[in-house]
Amino acid sequence: MGRHREFDLDKALDAALTMFWQKGYEGTSFEDLTRVTGVARPGLYAAFGNKEALFRKALDRYDAKYMTFMSDALGEPKVYDVIRRILEGSVKVQTLGGSSRGCLGVNGAVACSDEAEPIRQELIARRNATEAALRARLKRARQEGDLPPSADCAMLAGYVMTVSQGMAVQAKAGASKATLAAIVAHVLATWPSSASKRMRAAR
Amino acid sequence: MGRHREFDLDKALDAALTMFWQKGYEGTSFEDLTRVTGVARPGLYAAFGNKEALFRKALDRYDAKYMTFMSDALGEPKVYDVIRRILEGSVKVQTLGGSSRGCLGVNGAVACSDEAEPIRQELIARRNATEAALRARLKRARQEGDLPPSADCAMLAGYVMTVSQGMAVQAKAGASKATLAAIVAHVLATWPSSASKRMRAAR
DNA sequence: TCGTTTTAGTAATGGTCATTATAAAAAACT
DNA sequence: AGTTTTTTATAATGACCATTACTAAAACGA
């Protein structure tokens, strides 16, 4: 029934994702999107809806394609490995291919016009959901004795997210993978689960 | 010689600064600026130049008015107090008046269009200058025995900037002053200058 | 008081933005 | 082959963007 699409939906979405990742939601124009996807404007509208809908689809794809390390990390049995995989995974994605990518969840919209506010709120909600999942995982670790009984799980979850998002800003600004990896190593060395590791960090 | 200005230059610049702080460089329209300053478009152009020039002047004012804690901190004799004042000062500015401000240096532009790229580069340059100053201060501390001889000053400076910028993202997203203060306390407790403090953090 | 100088406000400018009518082209089904 | 359906590409739409002529008004010096 009818003519079929000449462009690949997934390829177009990947291209749009790359553009949003680089320039953020507001910084990306529809002309950018048509150029990078190779699809004329009406084609994008027909396939994905308007710019906001396209961004949300790109965001879903980003989660599915680049943020899987997060759920993998949460599944680690030892909390130290949870944190290690989260932070190492963050660095890997943020400096993918040696480029200065940062994180779409941060690049997308930090401060923006009123028009883009729904997108900013969406990104905040997703980051908060991630932090909540990590917080729950830390509480489990505390119950299991994998964290000290006095550990402030909410604070620690916020701390890890802070480091991850801070690295995202630095990565987008050009920080190298090695630079960020050193910071990750320091965070791990000062992680409150193992006294021996902290001793090593002191020297 | 001629009529004199009816509006206060400093007040207008402060108003523009507030707007840029909230919505970033690209997210702020000239209409926003005229509304919040109460000055008609040509008045702003005559007084400050175009939007980019106005942003740079607002950025200078931001440094002079809100970032003074940084040079104050660097002047502290003990490196622990340097870090403490940097992080506590960051939190104070980022949550000023209980609002979700974040940091102009981050909000201004993380990812943006090609047109705003010069502004993004300017912000990167300023953040790098801050990190370089901190790095130099840490090296001095290491020479003075205020940090372990093996301390990686470049990494530690990058780490502190990462935490500060990460908190800026979180503050803009609505994190409370208390939430951020708890994170700062953790960073200080794990700071590699004092073994006793690390012991306390373990419990 | 008169002319000069600078500001203020109105409104226009060209450009770009996201979004869509329109119409031609191509594939599928009858 | 003919009809229908869907996707293309061209190009138009109105809104908003930063920027600026232009005109009127106000304050200064003479």
Write down the ipTM of this complex. 0.93
Inter-chain touch A162–B152, beta carbons under 8 Å: no
| pLDDT reported for residue A193 | 73
The reply to whether B29 has its C-beta less than 7 Å from any atom of strand D is: yes
CA to C1' distance (Å), from B51 to D18: 8
Which protein residue has its CA closest to C1' of D22?
Answer: B42
Over residues A85-94, the mean pLDDT reads: 98
The CATH superfamily holding the domain B9-58 is Homeodomain-like (1.10.10.60)
| The listed CATH number (3.55.50.30, 3.90.79.10, 1.10.10.60, 3.30.390.10) that belongs to domain A9-62 | 1.10.10.60
- Please write the tens of the pLDDT for every residue from B139-185: 999 999 999 999 999 999 999 999 999 999 999 999 999 999 999 99
Nearest to A176 by CA among A89, A102, A95, A88: A95
The reply to whether A1 has its C-beta less than 7 Å from any atom of strand D is: yes
Q: Which amino acid is at A177?
A: K
Which chain B residues are closer than 8 Å to A110 by Cβ?
24, 102, 106-107, 110, 169, 172
Instruction: Give the one of B28, B112, B186 whose C-beta lies nearest to A159's C-beta.
Output: B186
Three-class SS state of B71 = helix
> Of A114-123, B89-98, B132-141, B190-199, which range is least confident?
B190-199
| pLDDT reported for residue A197 | 46
The reply to whether A5 has its C-beta less than 7 Å from any atom of strand C is: no
| pLDDT reported for residue B196 | 43
CA to C1' distance (Å), from B116 to C15: 16
The rounded distance, in Å, linking the Cα atoms of B149 and A110 is 38
Domain ranges of chain B: 9-58, 67-202
Q: Is residue A124 predicted with pLDDT exceeding 90?
A: yes
The reply to whether A1 has its C-beta less than 7 Å from any atom of strand C is: yes
CA distances in angstroms from A48 to A34, A45, B55, listed in the order given = 12, 5, 35
CATH topology of domain A67-202: Tetracycline Repressor; domain 2 (1.10.357)
| pLDDT reported for residue A1 | 64
CA distances in angstroms from A49 to A46, A57, A116, B75, listed in the order given = 6, 10, 16, 55
Q: Which residues are within 8 A (CB) of A91 and not within 5 positions of it... i.e. 6 or more apart?
A: A167, A171, A177, A180, A181, A184
Over residues A2-29, the mean pLDDT reads: 93
| pLDDT reported for residue A3 | 75
